Amino acid sequence: MTLTIATRGSPLALWQAHQVQRRLQEVHAGLEVIVSIVRTEGDRVSDRPIEELSATGVFTKEVDACLLAGEADAAVHSLKDQLTTLPDGVCLGMVLPRGPAEDALVSTCGGGVADLAPGARVATGSVRRRAHLLRARPDLKVVSIRGNVDTRLRKLDAGEADALVLARAGLERLGLGDRITEVIEKSLVLPAVCQGIVGVTCRDDDDATLRRLRAADDPVTHACAVAERAWLRRLGGGCNVPAAAHAVIEHDRLIMTSRVLDPNGHEAMEADATGDLASAERIGYGLADDLIDRGAIDLLRGGAG
């Protein structure tokens, strides 16, 4: 028995793929899982901000195209980068248990966001992080940065910024947790949709692969992913909008918090909800509808000036 999984080739992407490989082999004795590396637009173009590239899917399109072409049976993604509306013929087959969802600060002064000097240069490639940081500290100078985790840390160490914001999960998964000077509270910077979640897609007509993936799925994390992705899908946004949502499960209840901001962090609006796991998608859509009714789309587009 053999199953080929496609993935990006960055160190973090390979970590994710090997975790999926291990999980599938735990569940399916005797299954050989082959890792196939695909180079994406986001990997090829590293000298321009993400928002200047294709509107969505810069780290996922080519990986799923490999899947649809029959060159792989499944594709591994950092689910926060994956399109909320999957390509025709592709479905989300499984997720791994969620890792830490928070963002983390790596600061040359060794402190947290509150300890940064006025006018400090904070580097991020995310418009969501930028808006949150400026909301909390409008005096900061938020600068753009691209590259994988190691590249960004080298740029920080070379003096291109005073601090860097990255996903906590990525740093810890690469053994770089000791670089974190602050795990940023969700009240300050709400995580991206599906941050910390590794997802695996497959062709929706490939019943054999789909059965294998579903047998290895984490249902609690999957419910959170469904709610968060439904929320962002209703808003019509991708990973390059100043919007965030995070769901958790407590006592078999799904609790979800969401926030949209204008790109400069001048204004923000929030919506929260709770419900049973079976209603995950409905909860996500309902929260988005609430925000849309209150003018969220204009806010995302910079309506607050």
Q: Give the active site residues.
A: 81
Task: Give the integer Cα–Cα distance in Å for 152 and 241.
Answer: 21
Chain centroid, CA 115 distance in Å: 26
Handedness of CA 274, 224, 170, 126 (dihedral sign): negative
Task: Give the integer Cα–Cα distance in Å for 252 and 259.
Answer: 23
- Residue 126 three-state SS: coil
User: Which candidate, 159, 154, 149, 152, places its Cα nearest to that of 109?
Assistant: 159
Contacts of 232 (CB under 8 A, 6+ apart): 84, 193, 238, 243, 245, 284, 288
- Residue 46 three-state SS: coil
Task: Give the integer Cα–Cα distance in Å for 303 and 218.
Answer: 39
Task: Give the integer Cα–Cα distance in Å for 298 and 100.
Answer: 31
CA 88 to each of CA 83, 84, 92, 95, 104: distance values in angstroms, whole numbers, following the listed order: 12, 12, 12, 20, 35
Cβ atoms within 10 Å, residue 120: 19
Strands 163-167 and 121-124: parallel
